[in-house]
């Protein structure tokens, strides 16, 4: 194995190295990590476990096969984590109880380390009547804000934060709001967004036809299809989102089209999945299979790749039986279909090492040959595995053999499937492999070209800080080792921003031919590309058979993790901007504490809302005030768990900014199954509804809206609220336990609203 760059060992130490503080057990080297993974995944093999442990260990050596990060960090550790990277969650029902059941499932999944994808098209549009409540629906985007806040508060297993994909169908009445949601730089930061574009929309665009936006059988409005398409294009031109998923093509090409309907993907888009579908990923590192690199007879060792693919399919199949699953539905879905996502990484490096320029006709031909061989060998291995262990439980030979991908396989592979069935419903997918490719000594990621021969990367450290490191591309490093530091680079060395948009797209399309799931690829575009040319990229992707399209055009809204050393560094944000983006808490905040009584509770409940004062950002030089955090406290410990959870969730929503009135609206619609109560002469369906009323009143106050006088018993500012809100307590009364400015006085006791510490005089 060649000498590793510092970035590789740093990533291993931060993300994949097992260390148990209780027992002192730890991986001492990267080789120890490979040993751990190989041993854990060979246990399924019974008497042959030792043999397969050696085989698994062989393909892991020198990063020839790269299991996804969840496998590397979790297999063999004994931790309660999932080894699956991502999931598409269940269909969201269009009722409040069902929506929050889905939110709970999402939280449980992310807690174990899984990213999630959701179709929010099932939620009624904003302004629709909510039957039985007499209120208007707040719409899917308001609930996406809740999901976003939840994701922000949950740290996934290990050091990886949760990731989410949110999609919406092209005919939903709120689609225009969805498309423009990320124009607000503080909104939906934990989401990737994509529009599910149908064949019908493309056809309507070509005909310049009308396009009805409808939900539940009712047309809400009609616009020109071209107007909708241009809105999608303009948004992604301006700030790189939303992406586009060609959903009809995905369902038509699906190996299980007769059995399931796909409506969403995992966060990076390479795995279109049915409800509760699981995404299991691993990548063959093509750069390690190049023979005689940079010499006239340089080539890919397809025989060695064939052996690696067969072993990798078996290893990944064993993951299904080894992994934990956050939800029973996810386990059932995974076991009944046994989906795999075997992909590649190092394509850009392998092409360069074989003397082939990425995006050239030779490169397209090489991709067709290399990925065709990998796909055939993966299906062959799965058919032979079915002969040994059985086909996936829902296998139907008559239906499965008609799938477009199966029809494209070599005749002998189809014959094996016809004879034995197949172990795994799907075999191939190409993930972005960003982190694991860096781990593999900075091999080019996934199906992408080389980003830069050398570049700087911002790396987050365990303490939350970031450092910037210069890193060399694997192929470039190999070339320099062979030919010296001053040798001229051959023409096959090309960087991502030196390619035309068409060269990017044709490479994605060439790979898609042999991928039964999908591909995560970003098409890098120049900042000055004309808008009409930009739109042509997406149409070309559709015409060439891609299942989706994601572009990146440098702009002021999106930052970058990677940068070349020669690039001009972006101007640093002001402290106020940084605070708004990251949600940092200033030392002092103005606020108001409200005291309310709930007849079913013995003790009073105190609601404190603190606000952030910001410059208005216009020429007036004025200032605006918006809610930043909320604390809900009572001496009744029966309320402690849910009020603490609600405090953190709503505060996270407040800190993201934007219109937060939906929080009050949603709380106001919550009914307590044990019954509501009359508060101050008005009926409140639940304590949560009363808290929602407090939030609404506070928002009205800071917006300068007059409100009705509070009748006796209504929530009202507590005695001496100005003296005891967290904003005005002296510094000496910061919480001695958690050291946060979160202490307020409740009924004679100093109580920390953050950690629960209390001291009574």
pLDDT at 714 over 80: no
Range(s) of the domain holding residue 611: 578-760
Q: Which among 177, 331, 329, 168 has a CA at the least distance from the CA of 264?
A: 168
Q: Distance between CA atoms of 627 and 612, rounded to whole angstroms? A: 6
Q: What phi and psi values does residue 146 have, to the nearest 5 degrees?
A: -65, -45
Q: Compute the chain's Rg from CA coordinates.
A: 28
Q: Are residues 411 and 484 in the same domain?
A: yes
The whole-number pLDDT of residue 584 equals 55
Give the pLDDT confidence of 85-131 residue by residue, as tens digits: 889 999 999 998 999 999 999 988 888 777 899 999 999 999 998 87
Q: Are residues 128 and 243 in the same domain?
A: yes
Dihedral (Cα; 235, 240, 241, 245), 10-degree rounding: 110
3-state secondary structure of 586: coil
DSSP string for 712-756: TTS-EEPTTHHHHSTTTS-GGGS-TTT-SS-EEEETTEEEETTT-
- Give percent of the chain above pLDDT 90: 60
Q: Are residues 597 and 724 in the same domain?
A: yes
Q: Are residues 602 and 678 in the same domain?
A: yes
The residue assigned the tokens 């539940």 is 216
Domain count, the chain: 3
Give the pLDDT confidence of 532-582 residue by residue, as tens digits: 999 999 999 999 999 999 998 886 555 454 556 544 343 444 333 444 444
The whole-number pLDDT of residue 573 equals 41
Residue 227, number of CB atoms within 10 A of its CB: 13
Q: Are residues 248 and 309 in the same domain?
A: no
Global pTM reads 0.75
Mean pLDDT in residue range 499-519: 97
The whole-number pLDDT of residue 743 equals 60
Q: Are residues 194 and 312 in the same domain?
A: no
End-to-end CA distance of the chain: 66
| Final residue before a domain boundary, out of 480, 505, 524 | 524
Which residue would you say has higher pLDDT here, 586 or 510?
A: 510
Q: Distance between CA atoms of 176 and 191, rounded to whole angstroms? A: 17
The whole-number pLDDT of residue 162 equals 64
Q: Which among 641, 631, 661, 635 has a CA at the least distance from the CA of 747?
A: 635
Q: Is residue 237 part of a domain?
A: yes
Question: H/E/C letters for each residue in 433-480?
Answer: CHHHHHHCCCCCCCCCCECCCEEEEEEECCCCCEEEEEEECHHHHHHH
pLDDT at 247 over 90: yes
Q: Distance between CA atoms of 429 and 366, rounded to whole angstroms? A: 18
Q: Are residues 224 and 326 in the same domain?
A: no
Active site residues: 266, 268, 270
Q: Distance between CA atoms of 429 and 548, rounded to whole angstroms? A: 13
Helix and strand counts by DSSP (H, E) for the chain? 26, 32
The whole-number pLDDT of residue 728 equals 31
Mean pLDDT in residue range 684-693: 86
Q: Is residue 656 part of a domain?
A: yes
Q: Is residue 333 part of a domain?
A: yes
Q: Which among 215, 147, 108, 114 has a CA at the least distance from the CA of 652?
A: 147
Tokens (6 digits) for 586: 């200033």
Q: Which among 1, 16, 12 has a CA at the least distance from the CA of 64?
A: 1
pLDDT at 664 over 70: yes
Beta bridge partners of 624: 614
Q: Is residue 500 part of a domain?
A: yes
Q: Which among 365, 373, 366, 389 has a CA at the least distance from the CA of 307?
A: 373
Mean pLDDT of the chain: 85
Q: Are residues 287 and 179 in the same domain?
A: no
Q: Is residue 26 part of a domain?
A: no
Give the pLDDT confidence of 317-374 residue by residue, as tens digits: 999 999 999 999 999 999 999 999 999 999 999 999 999 999 999 999 999 999 999 9
Q: Distance between CA atoms of 525 and 505, rounded to whole angstroms? A: 11
Q: Are residues 341 and 298 in the same domain?
A: yes
Most confident region among 408-412, 575-579, 606-610, 650-654 by mean pLDDT: 408-412
Mean pLDDT in residue range 193-218: 97
Q: Is residue 627 part of a domain?
A: yes
Residue 62, number of CB atoms within 10 A of its CB: 14
Q: Which among 452, 432, 546, 456 has a CA at the least distance from the CA of 497?
A: 452
- Domain of 377, CATH number, reads 3.20.70.20
The whole-number pLDDT of residue 644 equals 76
The whole-number pLDDT of residue 461 equals 67
Cα angle at 216 between 210 and 217, to 5 degrees? 55
The whole-number pLDDT of residue 706 equals 59
Q: Are residues 612 and 518 in the same domain?
A: no
Is the Cβ–Cβ distance between 615 and 576 less than 8 Å? yes
Tokens (6 digits) for 387: 């002969």
Q: Are residues 399 and 440 in the same domain?
A: yes
Give CA separation, 335 vs 84, 207, 258, 340, in Å: 13, 44, 18, 11
394 burial (CB, 10 Å; 0-12 / 13-18 / 19+) is: middle
Q: Is residue 62 part of a domain?
A: yes
Q: In what order do the strands lie in the sheet with 86-88?
A: 278-279, 86-88, 115-119, 164-169, 191-197, 243-246, 548-549
**pLDDT tier at 662, thresholds 50, 70, 90:** confident
Q: Is residue 189 part of a domain?
A: yes
Q: Are residues 583 and 449 in the same domain?
A: no
Tokens (6 digits) for 449: 């070209």
Question: H/E/C letters for each residue in 38-64?
Answer: HHHHHHHHHHHHHHHHHHHHHHHHHHC
Is the Cβ–Cβ distance between 623 and 613 less than 8 Å? yes
């Amino acid at each position: 194995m060649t000498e590793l760059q510092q970035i590789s060992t740093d990533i291993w130490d931060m993300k994949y190295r097992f260390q148990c503080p209780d027992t002192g057990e730890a991986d001492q080297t990267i080789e120890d990590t490979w040993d751990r993974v190989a041993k854990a995944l060979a246990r399924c093999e019974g008497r042959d476990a030792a043999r397969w442990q050696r085989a698994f260990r062989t393909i892991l050596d020198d990063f020839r096969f790269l299991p996804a990060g969840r496998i590397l960090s979790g297999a063999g550790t004994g931790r309660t984590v999932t080894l699956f990277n991502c999931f598409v969650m269940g269909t969201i029902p269009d009722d409040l109880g069902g929506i929050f059941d889905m939110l709970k499932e999402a939280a449980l999944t992310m807690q174990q380390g899984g990213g999630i994808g959701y179709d929010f098209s099932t939620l009624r549009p904003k302004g629709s009547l909510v039957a039985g409540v007499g209120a208007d629906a707040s719409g899917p985007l308001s609930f996406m804000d809740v999901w976003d806040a939840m994701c922000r508060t949950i740290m996934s297993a290990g050091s990886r934060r949760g990731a989410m994909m949110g999609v919406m169908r092209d005919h939903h009445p709120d689609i225009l709001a969805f498309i423009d949601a990320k124009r607000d730089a503080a909104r939906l930061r934990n989401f990737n967004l994509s529009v599910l574009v149908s064949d019908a929309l493309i056809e309507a665009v070509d005909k310049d036809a009308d396009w009805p936006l409808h939900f539940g059988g009712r047309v809400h409005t009609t616009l020109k299809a071209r107007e909708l398409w241009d809105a999608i294009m303009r948004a992604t031109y301006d700030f790189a989102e939303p992406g586009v998923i060609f959903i009809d093509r995905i369902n038509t090409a699906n190996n299980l089209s007769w059995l399931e309907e796909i409506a969403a993907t995992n966060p990076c888009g390479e795995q279109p999945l049915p409800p509760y579908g699981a995404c299991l990923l691993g990548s063959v590192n093509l750069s390690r299979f190049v023979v005689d690199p940079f010499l006239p007879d340089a080539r890919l060792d397809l025989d060695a790749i064939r052996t690696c693919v067969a072993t990798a399919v078996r290893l990944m199949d064993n993951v299904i039986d080894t992994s934990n699953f956050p939800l029973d539905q996810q386990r059932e879905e995974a076991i009944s279909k046994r989906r795999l996502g075997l992909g590649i990484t190092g394509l850009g490096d392998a092409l360069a090492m074989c003397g082939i320029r990425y995006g050239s006709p030779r490169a397209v031909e090489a991709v067709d040959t290399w990925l065709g061989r990998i796909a055939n060998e993966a299906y062959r291995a799965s058919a032979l595995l079915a002969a040994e262990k059985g086909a996936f439980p829902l296998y139907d030979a008559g239906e499965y053999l008609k799938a477009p991908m199966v029809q494209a396989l070599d005749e002998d592979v189809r014959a094996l499937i016809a004879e034995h069935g197949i172990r795994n419903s799907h075999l191939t997918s190409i993930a972005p492999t960003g982190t694991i490719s860096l781990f593999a000594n900075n091999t080019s990621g996934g199906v992408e070209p080389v980003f830069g021969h050398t570049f700087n990367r911002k790396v987050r450290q365990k303490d939350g800080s970031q450092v910037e490191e210069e890193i060399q591309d694997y192929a470039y490093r190999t070339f320099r080792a062979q030919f010296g530091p001053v040798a001229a680079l051959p023409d096959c060395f090309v960087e991502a921003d030196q390619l035309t948009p068409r060269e990017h797209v044709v490479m994605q399309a060439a790979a898609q031919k042999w991928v039964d799931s999908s591909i995560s690829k970003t098409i890098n575009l120049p900042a000055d590309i004309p808008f009409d040319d930009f739109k042509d990229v997406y149409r070309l992707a559709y015409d060439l058979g891609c299942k989706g399209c994601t572009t990146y055009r440098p702009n002021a809204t999106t930052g970058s993790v990677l940068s070349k050393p020669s690039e001009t560094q972006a101007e640093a944000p002001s402290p106020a901007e940084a605070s708004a983006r990251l949600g940092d808490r200033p030392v002092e905040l103005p606020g108001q504490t409200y005291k309310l009584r709930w007849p079913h509770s013995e003790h009073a409940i105190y609601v404190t809302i603190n606000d952030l004062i910001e410059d208005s950002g216009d020429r007036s030089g004025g200032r605006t005030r918006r809610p930043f955090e909320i604390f809900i406290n009572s001496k009744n410990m029966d309320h402690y768990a849910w009020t603490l959870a609600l405090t953190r969730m709503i505060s996270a929503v407040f800190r993201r900014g934007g219109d937060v009135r939906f929080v009050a609206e949603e709380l106001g619609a919550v009914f307590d199954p044990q019954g509501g109560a009359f508060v101050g002469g008005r009926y409140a369906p639940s304590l949560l509804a009363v808290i929602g009323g407090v939030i609404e009143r506070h928002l009205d106050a800071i917006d300068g809206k007059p409100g009705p006088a509070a009748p006796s018993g209504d929530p009202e500012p507590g005695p001496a609220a100005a003296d005891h809100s967290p904003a005005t307590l002296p510094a000496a009364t910061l919480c001695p336990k958690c050291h946060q400015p979160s202490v307020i006085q409740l009924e004679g006791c100093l109580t920390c609203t953050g950690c629960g510490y209390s001291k009574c005089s």
